[in-house]
């Protein structure tokens, strides 16, 4: 019997932090983006935020009660999922469709795979992609009283339907006074929340930094007609769901790598895929599909980046 023990990377580190405390920090960090979404889009945004949170909590509690499981909604994970779903949809999305997305996230993506800690992809992004595929007309309708139906990313990507529209200003995109989903428009509000999570050490900077840096480099080199156009690159970073995805969804504990090097590889893969989808895909966005695709790669990334056990020698090569 070997005298060496094979020790995995987790869950051996003990901490006084609880799931509910971490989720509360995430909810607090999302307050700036949520508040600006309500300011930008009106009471319709607030109604959808409240309904989405309440629906996710109620659906999870009902499922666990009916399946004779312990009701765990006090851990606040369902509330975080509901808030993220609301921030990832247009303010014009019918409430019934929003609740369908909530049910898909909680039941299909989360609970059927065993609940919190067992889901293979981020529930909120799973819901967004499901809604986008099922209700594409409503999920791409960003027209409001204040804005046209075209988002800054759609205008930057071009096309006949947006050819006559004025190019978006970087400051408008940074502040968030543009069309888009409820919570993705204000880069500064998302940054404030992201910095809060970093200061509280809820997330590591490895994923968001490597993600955004890789995406920026990709845009500078490969953006058709905009190579080494720094203004265009900054607009792409501030536009769409990149910032929200980088700080709040790519860093999800369950669906992202736990190894330090794995986090960097994960972020690089996210940046490359998001750049490919945005620059050469049919859609102007791409963040949601990039994160979900990379969620599937997490087991492989962790396998090749797991630290070597202390004192364990590398296996000798077999003699030919």
Cβ-in-10-Å burial (0-12, 13-18, 19+) of 226 comes to middle
* The total number of structural domains that make up the chain: 1
- Rounded to an integer, the average pLDDT of 199-211 is 96
pLDDT (tens digit, 9 = 90+) per residue, 292-317?
A: 999 999 999 999 998 776 655 655 55
CATH number at residue 27: 1.10.3430
Q: What is the mean pLDDT of residues 23-38?
A: 97
Quick one: pLDDT at residue 66? 95
Share of the chain above pLDDT 70, in %: 89
pLDDT higher than threshold 80 for residue 286:
yes
Residue 99 counted as domain residue: yes
How far CA 175 is from CA of 188, 189, 197, 215, 219, in Å, comes to 6, 8, 20, 21, 22
The 10s digit of each residue's pLDDT in 146-201 is: 787 788 898 888 765 665 677 889 999 999 999 999 999 999 999 999 999 999 99
Q: Count CA atoms within 13 Å of residue 295 on its CB side.
A: 24
Secondary structure letter of residue 308 according to DSSP = P
Structure tokens at 11: 């869950």
Q: Which residue has the tokens 């595929």?
A: 133
Q: Which domain holds residue 298?
A: 19-305
Query: What was the pLDDT predicted at 320?
Result: 47
> Is 316 a member of any domain?
no
- Write the CA distances from 316 to 59, 312, 313, 319, integer angstroms: 54, 12, 9, 9
Per residue in 53-110, pLDDT (tens digit) is: 999 999 999 999 999 999 999 999 999 999 999 999 999 999 999 999 999 999 999 9
Q: How far apart are CA 204 and CA 263, in angstroms?
A: 9
The pLDDT assigned to 144 comes to: 84
Supply the mean pLDDT for the chain: 90
Give the position of tokens 């997490």.
298
In this predicted structure, what is the pLDDT of residue 266? 97
The contacts of residue 32 (CB under 8 Å, 6+ apart) are 186, 189, 190, 192, 193
What pLDDT is attached to residue 158? 77
pLDDT at 107: 96
Omega cis (within 30) before 11: yes
Does a structural domain hold residue 211?
yes
Give 6's pLDDT tier (boundaries 50, 70, 90).
low
Q: What is the pLDDT of residue 74?
A: 93
pLDDT digits (tens, 9 = 90+) for 125-150: 999 999 999 999 999 999 887 787 78
Q: How far out from the chain centre does Cα 249 lie?
A: 3
Q: Cα-atom radius of gyration of the chain, to the nearest Å?
A: 21
For 220, other C-beta atoms within 10 Å of its C-beta total 17
Helix or strand (DSSP H, E) at 269: helix 260-280
Q: Is residue 171 part of a domain?
A: yes
Is 3 within a domain? no
pLDDT digits (tens, 9 = 90+) for 236-248: 999 999 999 999 9
User: Can you tell me the distance from the alpha carbon of 155 to that of 163, in angstroms, rounded to the nearest whole number?
Assistant: 7
Spell out the long-range contacts of 107-115 with Cβ–Cβ below 8 A and sequence spacing 24 or more.
107/59, 107/63, 110/60, 110/81, 111/60, 111/63, 111/64, 111/67, 115/64, 115/69, 115/72
**Lowest mean pLDDT: which of 15-29, 136-150, 165-179, 256-270?**
136-150
Residue 320 maps to a domain: no
Q: Residue 217, exposed/middle/buried by CB under 10 A (0-12, 13-18, 19+)?
A: middle
DSSP character at residue 104 = I
* 91 is a domain residue: yes
pLDDT at 1: 45
Residue 94 inside a domain? The answer is yes
3-state secondary structure (DSSP) of residue 239: coil
């Amino acid at each position: 019997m070997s005298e060496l023990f094979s020790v995995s990377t987790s869950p051996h580190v003990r901490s006084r932090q609880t799931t509910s405390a971490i989720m509360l920090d995430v909810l607090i960090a999302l307050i700036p983006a949520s508040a600006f979404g309500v300011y930008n889009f009106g009471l319709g945004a607030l109604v959808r935020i409240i309904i989405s949170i309440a629906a996710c909590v109620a659906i999870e509690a009902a499922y666990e009660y009916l399946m004779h499981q312990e009701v765990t909604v006090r851990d606040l994970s369902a509330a975080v999922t509901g808030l993220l779903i609301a921030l990832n949809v247009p303010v014009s999305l019918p409430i019934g469709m929003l609740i369908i997305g909530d049910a898909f996230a909680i039941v299909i993506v989360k609970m059927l795979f065993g609940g919190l800690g067992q889901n293979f992809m981020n529930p909120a992004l799973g819901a967004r992609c499901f809604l986008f595929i099922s209700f594409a007309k409503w999920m791409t309708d960003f027209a409001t009283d204040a804005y046209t139906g075209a988002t800054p990313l759609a205008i930057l990507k071009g096309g006949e339907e947006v050819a006559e529209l004025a190019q978006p200003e970087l400051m408008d995109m940074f502040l968030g006074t543009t069309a888009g989903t409820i919570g993705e428009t204000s880069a500064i509000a998302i940054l404030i929340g992201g910095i809060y999570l970093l200061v509280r050490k809820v997330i590591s900077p490895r994923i968001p930094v490597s993600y955004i840096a890789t995406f920026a480099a990709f845009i500078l080199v490969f953006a058709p007609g905009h190579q080494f156009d720094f203004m265009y690159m900054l607009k792409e970073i501030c536009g769409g769901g990149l910032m929200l995805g980088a700080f709040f969804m790519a860093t999800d504990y369950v669906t992202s790598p736990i190894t330090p090097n794995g986090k960097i590889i994960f972020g690089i893969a996210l940046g490359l895929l998001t750049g490919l989808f945005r620059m050469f895909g049919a859609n102007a966005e791409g963040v949601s599909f990039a994160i979900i695709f990379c969620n599937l790669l997490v087991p492989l990334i962790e396998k090749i980046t797991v630290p070597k056990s202390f004192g364990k020698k590398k296996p000798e090569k077999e003699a030919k």
